[in-house]
Protein backbone atom coordinates (compact mmCIF):
# COMPACT_ATOMS: atom_id res chain seq x y z
CA UNK A 1 0.00 0.00 0.00
CA UNK A 2 1.28 3.46 -0.87
CA UNK A 3 2.24 5.47 2.21
CA UNK A 4 0.80 8.94 2.70
CA UNK A 5 3.23 11.27 4.49
CA UNK A 6 2.23 14.66 5.93
CA UNK A 7 5.15 16.94 6.78
CA UNK A 8 4.31 19.90 9.02
CA UNK A 9 7.92 20.58 9.97
CA UNK A 10 9.42 23.66 8.25
CA UNK A 11 11.89 22.20 5.75
CA UNK A 12 14.08 23.47 2.92
CA UNK A 13 13.78 22.20 -0.64
CA UNK A 14 16.88 20.08 -0.04
CA UNK A 15 15.35 18.56 3.09
CA UNK A 16 12.10 17.84 1.25
CA UNK A 17 14.08 15.87 -1.29
CA UNK A 18 15.89 13.93 1.44
CA UNK A 19 12.57 12.81 2.90
CA UNK A 20 11.08 11.92 -0.49
CA UNK A 21 14.17 9.93 -1.44
CA UNK A 22 13.70 7.84 1.72
CA UNK A 23 10.23 6.78 0.53
CA UNK A 24 10.19 7.07 -3.28
CA UNK A 25 6.87 5.21 -3.55
CA UNK A 26 5.11 7.39 -0.96
CA UNK A 27 2.89 10.40 -1.58
CA UNK A 28 3.91 13.52 0.33
CA UNK A 29 2.11 16.65 1.43
CA UNK A 30 4.15 19.55 2.85
CA UNK A 31 2.44 22.20 4.94
CA UNK A 32 2.32 23.96 8.28
CA UNK A 33 0.61 23.18 11.56
CA UNK A 34 -1.60 26.26 11.31
CA UNK A 35 -2.84 25.38 7.80
CA UNK A 36 -3.19 21.60 8.21
CA UNK A 37 -6.74 20.32 7.84
CA UNK A 38 -8.71 17.41 9.22
CA UNK A 39 -8.61 15.89 5.74
CA UNK A 40 -4.79 16.05 5.74
CA UNK A 41 -4.60 14.20 9.04
CA UNK A 42 -7.13 11.54 8.03
CA UNK A 43 -5.18 11.03 4.78
CA UNK A 44 -1.78 10.52 6.42
CA UNK A 45 -0.20 7.25 7.52
CA UNK A 46 2.82 9.14 8.83
CA UNK A 47 3.09 12.69 10.15
CA UNK A 48 6.31 14.62 10.79
CA UNK A 49 5.57 17.68 12.90
CA UNK A 50 2.89 18.64 15.41
CA UNK A 51 -0.68 18.58 14.12
CA UNK A 52 -3.37 20.12 16.27
CA UNK A 53 -4.75 17.67 18.78
CA UNK A 54 -8.28 18.58 17.68
CA UNK A 55 -7.51 17.34 14.17
CA UNK A 56 -6.43 13.97 15.52
CA UNK A 57 -9.35 13.51 17.90
CA UNK A 58 -11.44 10.49 16.97
CA UNK A 59 -9.78 9.96 13.60
CA UNK A 60 -6.22 8.82 14.12
CA UNK A 61 -6.68 5.04 14.29
CA UNK A 62 -5.05 4.69 10.89
CA UNK A 63 -1.96 6.73 11.85
CA UNK A 64 1.13 4.53 11.98
CA UNK A 65 3.83 7.06 12.84
CA UNK A 66 3.84 10.48 14.48
CA UNK A 67 7.19 12.24 14.79
CA UNK A 68 6.82 15.37 16.91
CA UNK A 69 8.92 18.45 16.33
CA UNK A 70 8.77 19.19 20.06
CA UNK A 71 10.38 17.55 23.07
CA UNK A 72 7.09 17.91 24.97
CA UNK A 73 4.37 15.44 24.11
CA UNK A 74 1.60 16.15 26.62
CA UNK A 75 -1.01 16.92 23.95
CA UNK A 76 -0.48 13.58 22.23
CA UNK A 77 -0.39 11.18 25.20
CA UNK A 78 -3.92 12.00 26.30
CA UNK A 79 -6.01 8.80 26.48
CA UNK A 80 -7.91 8.05 23.31
CA UNK A 81 -6.16 10.56 21.07
CA UNK A 82 -3.79 8.12 19.34
CA UNK A 83 -4.10 4.43 18.68
CA UNK A 84 -1.98 2.19 20.87
CA UNK A 85 -0.38 1.01 17.64
CA UNK A 86 0.77 4.48 16.59
CA UNK A 87 4.51 4.94 16.92
CA UNK A 88 4.98 8.21 18.83
CA UNK A 89 8.43 9.84 18.83
CA UNK A 90 9.46 13.24 20.16
CA UNK A 91 12.38 15.51 19.30
CA UNK A 92 14.41 15.12 22.48
CA UNK A 93 18.01 15.89 21.63
CA UNK A 94 17.21 18.80 19.32
CA UNK A 95 16.89 21.60 21.81
CA UNK A 96 19.47 21.03 24.55
CA UNK A 97 22.32 23.26 23.35
CA UNK A 98 20.10 26.16 22.28
CA UNK A 99 17.91 26.24 25.39
CA UNK A 100 20.91 25.48 27.60
CA UNK A 101 22.57 28.64 26.25
CA UNK A 102 19.41 30.64 26.98
CA UNK A 103 19.39 29.37 30.55
CA UNK A 104 23.04 30.37 30.99
CA UNK A 105 22.31 33.82 29.56
CA UNK A 106 19.31 34.24 31.86
CA UNK A 107 21.32 33.11 34.90
CA UNK A 108 24.18 35.52 34.22
CA UNK A 109 21.74 38.32 33.42
CA UNK A 110 20.09 37.94 36.80
CA UNK A 111 23.28 37.24 38.72
CA UNK A 112 24.70 40.53 37.37
CA UNK A 113 21.33 42.39 37.42
CA UNK A 114 21.63 43.32 33.76
CA UNK A 115 17.85 43.44 33.46
CA UNK A 116 17.74 46.17 36.11
CA UNK A 117 20.60 48.09 34.53
CA UNK A 118 18.74 47.95 31.21
CA UNK A 119 15.71 49.53 32.87
CA UNK A 120 17.96 52.19 34.40
CA UNK A 121 19.46 52.88 30.99
CA UNK A 122 16.01 53.55 29.58
CA UNK A 123 15.35 55.91 32.48
CA UNK A 124 18.77 57.60 32.02
CA UNK A 125 19.67 56.63 35.58
CA UNK A 126 23.30 56.11 36.72
CA UNK A 127 23.00 54.03 39.89
CA UNK A 128 25.37 51.38 41.21
CA UNK A 129 23.35 48.41 42.48
CA UNK A 130 26.26 47.08 44.52
CA UNK A 131 27.87 43.68 44.51
CA UNK A 132 26.55 40.95 42.23
CA UNK A 133 26.68 37.17 42.43
CA UNK A 134 29.62 35.23 40.95
CA UNK A 135 29.34 31.81 39.32
CA UNK A 136 32.40 30.62 41.23
CA UNK A 137 30.56 31.24 44.50
CA UNK A 138 27.21 29.82 43.43
CA UNK A 139 25.27 26.57 43.57
CA UNK A 140 22.92 25.76 40.69
CA UNK A 141 20.07 23.28 41.08
CA UNK A 142 18.80 21.75 37.83
CA UNK A 143 15.32 20.21 37.85
CA UNK A 144 15.23 17.80 34.93
CA UNK A 145 18.54 16.15 34.07
CA UNK A 146 17.71 15.27 30.47
CA UNK A 147 19.01 16.82 27.28
CA UNK A 148 18.18 20.45 28.13
CA UNK A 149 19.05 20.28 31.83
CA UNK A 150 22.35 18.52 31.17
CA UNK A 151 23.36 21.10 28.55
CA UNK A 152 22.66 23.88 31.05
CA UNK A 153 24.51 22.02 33.79
CA UNK A 154 27.58 21.46 31.60
CA UNK A 155 27.85 25.14 30.80
CA UNK A 156 27.30 26.34 34.37
CA UNK A 157 29.84 23.86 35.71
CA UNK A 158 32.37 25.16 33.19
CA UNK A 159 31.76 28.66 34.57
CA UNK A 160 32.66 27.47 38.06
CA UNK A 161 29.26 26.71 39.62
CA UNK A 162 28.58 23.78 41.89
CA UNK A 163 25.83 21.91 40.04
CA UNK A 164 23.19 19.63 41.56
CA UNK A 165 20.82 17.61 39.40
CA UNK A 166 17.32 16.33 40.13
CA UNK A 167 15.60 13.60 38.11
CA UNK A 168 12.70 11.19 38.43
CA UNK A 169 14.55 8.09 39.58
CA UNK A 170 17.97 6.94 40.65
CA UNK A 171 20.22 5.23 38.16
CA UNK A 172 23.11 3.33 39.71
CA UNK A 173 26.54 4.50 38.58
CA UNK A 174 25.00 6.82 36.03
CA UNK A 175 25.66 10.45 36.90
CA UNK A 176 26.71 12.66 33.97
CA UNK A 177 30.01 14.49 34.44
CA UNK A 178 28.23 17.84 34.28
CA UNK A 179 26.78 17.32 37.77
CA UNK A 180 28.52 17.29 41.14
CA UNK A 181 25.52 15.62 42.81
CA UNK A 182 22.42 13.82 41.58
CA UNK A 183 19.17 13.43 43.54
CA UNK A 184 15.55 12.46 42.99
CA UNK A 185 12.50 14.68 43.13
CA UNK A 186 11.52 13.44 46.60
CA UNK A 187 14.66 15.18 47.93
CA UNK A 188 13.77 18.54 46.40
CA UNK A 189 12.69 20.27 49.62
CA UNK A 190 16.11 19.76 51.19
CA UNK A 191 17.92 20.97 48.07
CA UNK A 192 16.07 24.23 47.40
CA UNK A 193 17.61 26.18 50.32
CA UNK A 194 21.09 25.41 48.97
CA UNK A 195 20.63 26.87 45.49
CA UNK A 196 21.54 30.34 44.26
CA UNK A 197 19.82 29.51 40.98
CA UNK A 198 17.18 26.89 40.16
CA UNK A 199 16.83 25.96 36.50
CA UNK A 200 13.67 24.08 35.53
CA UNK A 201 13.56 21.95 32.36
CA UNK A 202 10.63 19.67 33.13
CA UNK A 203 7.95 18.24 30.82
CA UNK A 204 4.25 18.67 31.52
CA UNK A 205 3.19 15.60 33.49
CA UNK A 206 0.91 14.94 36.44
CA UNK A 207 3.92 14.86 38.73
CA UNK A 208 5.40 18.18 37.55
CA UNK A 209 2.25 20.33 37.40
CA UNK A 210 2.31 22.79 40.31
CA UNK A 211 5.65 21.44 41.53
CA UNK A 212 6.88 24.88 42.58
CA UNK A 213 4.02 26.00 44.78
CA UNK A 214 3.99 28.58 47.58
CA UNK A 215 5.52 26.16 50.06
CA UNK A 216 8.44 25.18 47.84
CA UNK A 217 9.04 28.73 46.65
CA UNK A 218 9.23 29.66 50.32
CA UNK A 219 12.05 27.16 50.79
CA UNK A 220 14.28 28.85 48.24
CA UNK A 221 17.42 30.70 49.26
CA UNK A 222 16.86 34.44 49.87
CA UNK A 223 17.81 36.39 46.76
CA UNK A 224 17.97 33.31 44.54
CA UNK A 225 17.05 33.13 40.87
CA UNK A 226 14.37 30.86 39.34
CA UNK A 227 14.51 29.98 35.62
CA UNK A 228 11.83 27.99 33.82
CA UNK A 229 12.12 26.69 30.25
CA UNK A 230 10.00 23.53 30.55
CA UNK A 231 6.28 24.13 30.98
CA UNK A 232 4.62 27.10 32.63
CA UNK A 233 2.31 25.07 34.85
CA UNK A 234 5.26 23.65 36.79
CA UNK A 235 5.16 26.93 38.76
CA UNK A 236 2.05 28.21 40.50
CA UNK A 237 1.81 31.71 39.04
CA UNK A 238 0.16 33.47 41.98
CA UNK A 239 2.72 31.97 44.34
CA UNK A 240 5.53 33.09 42.04
CA UNK A 241 4.28 36.67 42.04
CA UNK A 242 4.11 36.65 45.83
CA UNK A 243 7.64 35.23 46.10
CA UNK A 244 8.96 37.88 43.68
CA UNK A 245 7.26 40.65 45.58
CA UNK A 246 7.81 39.55 49.16
CA UNK A 247 10.71 37.09 48.93
CA UNK A 248 12.53 34.88 49.20
CA UNK A 249 13.04 35.03 45.42
CA UNK A 250 15.40 37.69 44.17
CA UNK A 251 14.34 37.37 40.54
CA UNK A 252 13.14 34.99 37.85
CA UNK A 253 13.39 34.33 34.12
CA UNK A 254 10.55 32.64 32.26
CA UNK A 255 10.46 31.34 28.71
CA UNK A 256 7.17 29.62 29.58
CA UNK A 257 4.24 30.93 31.58
CA UNK A 258 0.88 29.88 32.98
CA UNK A 259 -1.29 31.04 31.28
CA UNK A 260 0.39 31.00 27.88
CA UNK A 261 0.45 33.14 25.84
CA UNK A 262 0.59 35.61 28.71
CA UNK A 263 -2.29 38.11 28.36
CA UNK A 264 -1.26 41.73 27.86
CA UNK A 265 -2.97 42.78 31.09
CA UNK A 266 -1.43 40.07 33.27
CA UNK A 267 0.38 41.43 36.36
CA UNK A 268 3.46 39.27 35.69
CA UNK A 269 4.56 41.76 33.01
CA UNK A 270 5.06 44.49 35.60
CA UNK A 271 7.67 42.84 37.83
CA UNK A 272 11.03 44.58 37.53
CA UNK A 273 12.82 41.51 38.88
CA UNK A 274 11.41 39.23 36.17
CA UNK A 275 12.36 38.67 32.52
CA UNK A 276 9.93 37.03 30.11
CA UNK A 277 10.50 35.58 26.65
CA UNK A 278 7.63 34.19 24.50
CA UNK A 279 8.44 30.44 24.57
CA UNK A 280 10.74 30.91 21.60
CA UNK A 281 14.13 29.66 22.74
CA UNK A 282 13.66 26.07 21.61
CA UNK A 283 14.02 26.70 17.90
CA UNK A 284 15.82 30.02 18.00
CA UNK A 285 19.16 28.89 16.50
CA UNK A 286 20.20 27.38 13.18
CA UNK A 287 21.91 24.55 15.02
CA UNK A 288 18.64 23.62 16.69
CA UNK A 289 16.84 23.46 13.35
CA UNK A 290 19.55 21.25 11.87
CA UNK A 291 19.48 18.85 14.84
CA UNK A 292 15.69 18.73 14.69
CA UNK A 293 15.63 17.70 11.04
CA UNK A 294 18.36 15.12 11.61
CA UNK A 295 16.41 13.47 14.45
CA UNK A 296 13.07 13.59 12.63
CA UNK A 297 14.44 12.25 9.35
CA UNK A 298 16.41 9.46 11.03
CA UNK A 299 13.34 8.33 12.97
CA UNK A 300 11.33 8.45 9.73
CA UNK A 301 13.95 6.23 8.08
CA UNK A 302 13.77 3.75 10.96
CA UNK A 303 9.97 3.69 10.77
CA UNK A 304 10.09 2.89 7.05
CA UNK A 305 12.69 0.18 7.64
CA UNK A 306 10.81 -1.36 10.58
CA UNK A 307 13.75 -0.72 12.92
CA UNK A 308 13.32 -0.19 16.70
CA UNK A 309 12.61 3.39 17.75
CA UNK A 310 12.88 5.33 21.00
CA UNK A 311 9.22 6.13 21.57
CA UNK A 312 7.37 8.31 24.05
CA UNK A 313 6.01 6.49 27.08
CA UNK A 314 2.28 7.33 27.05
CA UNK A 315 2.10 7.26 30.87
CA UNK A 316 5.11 9.41 31.77
CA UNK A 317 5.54 11.57 28.66
CA UNK A 318 9.25 10.75 28.59
CA UNK A 319 11.15 9.09 25.77
CA UNK A 320 12.02 5.45 26.40
CA UNK A 321 14.01 2.88 24.47
CA UNK A 322 12.01 0.18 22.71
Q: What angle do CA 197, 198, 200 make, to 5 degrees?
A: 145
Q: Which residues contact 105 (CB under 8 A, 6 or more apart)?
A: none
Q: Distance between the two ends of the chain, CA-based, in angstroms?
A: 26
Among candidate residues 183, 279, 301, 314, the one labeled active-site is 279
114 CB contacts (<8 Å, ≥6 apart)? 108
Catalytic position from the list 4, 113, 155, 231 = 231
124 catalytically annotated: no
Return d(Cα 281, Cα 172) in angstroms, integer. Answer: 33
Question: Quick check: helix, strand or coil at residue 320?
Answer: strand
- Is 260 one of the annotated active-site residues of the chain? yes
Distance CA 198, CA 209 (A): 17
d(CA 136, CA 206): 35
Neighbours of 277 (CB within 10 A): 15
Q: Could you tell me whether strands 87-89 and 181-184 are parallel, antiparallel, or unpaired per DSSP bridges?
A: unpaired
Looking at 39, 54, 137, 260, which residue is catalytic?
A: 260
- How many residues in total does the chain contain? 322
Residue 118 among the catalytic residues: no
Count the alpha carbons within 13 Å of 212 in the hemisphere toward its beta carbon: 33
State the Cα–Cα distance between residues 156 and 179, nearest whole angstrom.
Answer: 10
Residues with catalytic roles:
231, 260, 279
Amino acid sequence: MEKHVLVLLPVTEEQKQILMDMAPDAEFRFGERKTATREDVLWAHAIIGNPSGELLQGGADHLEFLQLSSAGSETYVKPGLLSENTILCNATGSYGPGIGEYMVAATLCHFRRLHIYRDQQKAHTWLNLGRSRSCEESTVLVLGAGDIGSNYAKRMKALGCYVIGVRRSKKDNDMPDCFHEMHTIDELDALLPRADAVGMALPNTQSTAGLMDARRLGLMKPGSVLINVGRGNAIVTDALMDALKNGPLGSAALDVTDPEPLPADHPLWDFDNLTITPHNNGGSTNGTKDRLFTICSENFRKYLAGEPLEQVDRLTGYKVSR
